[in-house]
Structure 1
Amino acid sequence: MIRIDQLRHVYPAGRKQPERTALFDLTLDVPEGQFTILSGPNGSGKSTLFRILCGLATPSRGTVTIGGFDLGLQGAEVRRIMGVVFQSPAVDKHLTVAENIRIHADLYGIGGPEFQARKDDALAWTDLKDRQADKVETLSGGLARQVELAKVMMTRPKVLLLDEPTTGLDPGSRRAFLDALHRLQKERGMTVLMTSHVFAEAENVDRVAIMREGRLLAYDSPAALRALIGTEMVVVRAKDPDYLGDELRAHLGLAIRRHGDELRLEETENGEGLPLLERILDRWRGDILSISIKQPDLEDVFVHVTGRAMPEQADHPGEPR
């Protein structure tokens, strides 16, 4: 449904910065009806890619096809089948819920009996049915996000793009929004591409794409990505990570991945972690601050393929990412 082929984007040199390449010949296919998460650290290019997919930026080279339409040549056709939820709120907080939905419907030429049917459908899954006369500024962050999603659902998109839509939501609102999104995606067979830096949001999707510095490093199902680093991993915090890392490599013959003050022994299978932990403790107990066995999650996969942890805060608005 979304086909990205050899996409390159270069930001030209400015008065205060040199020319910068944000995307390096990126190729990515998102199958119809699947939910895909796009993740990466600041500067990975994911927001540049998002802007291109939304039609807000023209790539330096390469093509994007959405629903069989060439984005560069058939933009109007693409917009008819696509909905977008941006990271920054795109509702008027001084208007009511109903007024925001009415304006969006007018922009798409939805009126008469069709408007009421689509409005009822768009609000059916929300907690907004009794709040339509309320101004958006009086709603919680979670309910305000529901307004955005309901507004987009008015057009019944086949493709839905979301840019870190849960930013700023509390855990309960985040979960409610994601539950509703997954339910709507499955009921309507939508193709969803969503950027996120929260790996818990990616555990139940069809595929996860991980980017760094404008390149695609990994793209597969969550289970397949976790399998890259085995079913168990031993994590050691050492007093002197350099010394202990050299010791473990020399005496155990295992690949050791350094991450901050942690030494990670990956690619171990079920049942191998405990004997390995005991061997390490027997010989190097005095050099260890802590040691544990864990099942890899998607954040561990991210560290494995990028060599860095995901920043706690989101990217700064207005900066190319």
Structure 2
Amino acid sequence: MIRIEALTHVYPGGRRQPPRTAVADLTLHIPEGRFTILSGPNGSGKSTLFRILCGLARPSRGRVLVAGRDLLADPAAARARMGVVFQSPAVDKHLSVQENLSIHAALYGLTGAAFRARLDEALGWTDLDGRLGDRVDTLSGGLARQVELAKCLLTRPRLLLLDEPTTGLDPASRRSFLSALTRLRRERGMTVLMTSHIFSEAEDVDSVAIMANGRLLAHDTPQALRARLNTDVLVIDSPEPDTLVERLRADLGVTAIRHGDELRVDEPPGHTDAVALLERVLKDYRPLVRGITVKQPALEDVFIHVTAEARAARSGATPQETAA
């Protein structure tokens, strides 16, 4: 459904600012009917890639195909096959739910009986029954997001692009929204590409793509990504993380990746397992430990690991020296 080939986008520099490469030689293929989450740190290039896929920015070079249509050569045909939910609301909060949906449908030539049939179809999965006459600004954040998604579904898109759509939603609304996406993808055979910083949202999707500094670092199923860390992960919360990183490296030969005040060890040295290392850390470095746990690797751990490796490869340093 989406084929991105050697895509590069460079923002031109100015008098005081050099050119900046936001996307660098990125190749990514997403088959039809897949639910893929795109993740990465701030400044990774996700937003630029999303703008290119929506047709809002033209890349410096490369090729993008959407449902077999060249997005750059025939943008109207490619965009006709997609629906987009932006991070910022794209509904008029002063209008009712019905009015927002009617205006959007009219832009696509849907009126009368055709619109009513599509409306019933688009609202079938929502909790908006009985709320069509309500102004959008009277709805909860979760219901307002449902209006955004229902608006996109009126045109029966084959591809749905969503830019951090759960931002600001409470946990219950977030779960409901994601369940709806999964069900819609399964029932309608849609391809879904969604950006997200919340790794728990990616645990049950078909694939996860991780970007950093404009490059694709990994793209695989959640299970395959977690399998990259084939041991338990030791997570240490420390009041002096830099000091503890150096002590672990000098005394035990342990590579700890720093992430905020937390240290993660996913490759204990030699034949030491995570539990034995935990006991050693508590015995020898107790004043530098505020909290400590051993857990099975999650996608967040994979994300921290691969982004630290990428920074280390660029700088020539070790992962613990480059992780933040």
| Residue in structure 1 matched with residue 52 of structure 2 by the alignment | 52
Instruction: State the distance in 2 between where 1:136 and 1:280 align.
Output: 54
1:178 Cα deviation (Å)? 1.4
Q: Deviations over 1:165-208 (max 9, x none)?
A: 11122222222211111111111111000011111111111111
| Residue in structure 2 matched with residue 64 of structure 1 by the alignment | 64
| Residue in structure 2 matched with residue 219 of structure 1 by the alignment | 219
Q: Give identity over the alignment, percent.
A: 65
1:264 Cα deviation (Å)? 2.2
Aligned residue for 2:176, secondary structure, equals helix
Call closer, same or farther: CA 1:69–1:243 in 2, change over 3 Å: same
| Residue in structure 2 matched with residue 149 of structure 1 by the alignment | 149
1:244 Cα deviation (Å)? 4.3
RMSD: 2.1
1:238 Cα deviation (Å)? 4.7
Q: Which is further off, 169-178 or 14-23?
A: 14-23
- Unaligned ranges ≥5, structure 2: 310-324
Aligned residue for 2:126, secondary structure, equals coil
- Paired letter, 2:181: L
- Paired letter, 2:201: E
Instruction: State the distance in 1 between where 2:219 and 2:25 align.
Output: 15
Call closer, same or farther: CA 1:142–1:259 in 2, change over 3 Å: closer
1:237 Cα deviation (Å)? 3.9
Instruction: State the distance in 2 between where 1:255 and 1:33 align.
Output: 40
Instruction: State the distance in 1 between where 2:162 and 2:240 align.
Output: 43
Instruction: State the distance in 1 between where 2:305 and 2:249 align.
Output: 18
| Residue in structure 1 matched with residue 112 of structure 2 by the alignment | 112
Q: Deviations over 1:126-149 (max 9, x none)?
A: 111211111212211111111111
Instruction: State the distance in 2 between where 1:134 and 1:220 align.
Output: 42
Q: Which is further off, 58-67 or 296-305?
A: 296-305
| Residue in structure 2 matched with residue 40 of structure 1 by the alignment | 40
Equivalent residues in 2 for 1:193-272, closer than 5 Å: 193-238=193-238, 241-242=241-242, 244-249=244-249, 252-267=252-267, 272=273
Check whether the contact 1:52–1:59 (CA below 8 A) recurs between aligned residues.
yes
Call closer, same or farther: CA 1:176–1:250 in 2, change over 3 Å: same
1:17 Cα deviation (Å)? 3.1
Instruction: State the distance in 2 between where 1:88 and 1:2 align.
Output: 24
- Unaligned ranges ≥5, structure 1: 309-321
Check whether the contact 1:259–1:307 (CA below 8 A) recurs between aligned residues.
no
Call closer, same or farther: CA 1:289–1:119 in 2, change over 3 Å: closer
Q: Which is further off, 88-97 or 232-241?
A: 232-241
Calculate the TM-score normalised by the size of structure 1. Answer: 0.88
Equivalent residues in 2 for 1:15-30, closer than 5 Å: 15=15, 17-30=17-30
Instruction: State the distance in 2 between where 1:59 and 1:97 align.
Output: 36
Q: In the alignment, is residue 279 of structure 1 matched against residue 276 of structure 2?
A: no
Instruction: State the distance in 2 between where 1:240 and 1:150 align.
Output: 49
Q: Which is further off, 39-48 or 293-302?
A: 293-302
Equivalent residues in 2 for 1:165-176, closer than 5 Å: 165-176=165-176
| Residue in structure 2 matched with residue 293 of structure 1 by the alignment | 294
- Paired letter, 1:47: S
Check whether the contact 1:238–1:288 (CA below 8 A) recurs between aligned residues.
yes
Instruction: State the distance in 2 between where 1:88 and 1:246 align.
Output: 43
Instruction: State the distance in 2 between where 1:211 and 1:290 align.
Output: 30
Instruction: State the distance in 2 between where 1:228 and 1:285 align.
Output: 30
Instruction: State the distance in 1 between where 2:97 and 2:31 align.
Output: 33
Check whether the contact 1:37–1:205 (CA below 8 A) recurs between aligned residues.
yes
Aligned residue for 2:228, secondary structure, equals helix
Instruction: State the distance in 2 between where 1:240 and 1:170 align.
Output: 33
Call closer, same or farther: CA 1:13–1:218 in 2, change over 3 Å: same
Call closer, same or farther: CA 1:132–1:38 in 2, change over 3 Å: same
1:80 Cα deviation (Å)? 1.8
Q: Deviations over 1:213-252 (max 9, x none)?
A: 1111111111221222234111234565455444544554
Q: How many residue pairs were aligned?
A: 306
- Paired letter, 1:58: R
Q: In the alignment, is residue 304 of structure 1 matched against residue 309 of structure 2?
A: no
Call closer, same or farther: CA 1:231–1:190 in 2, change over 3 Å: farther
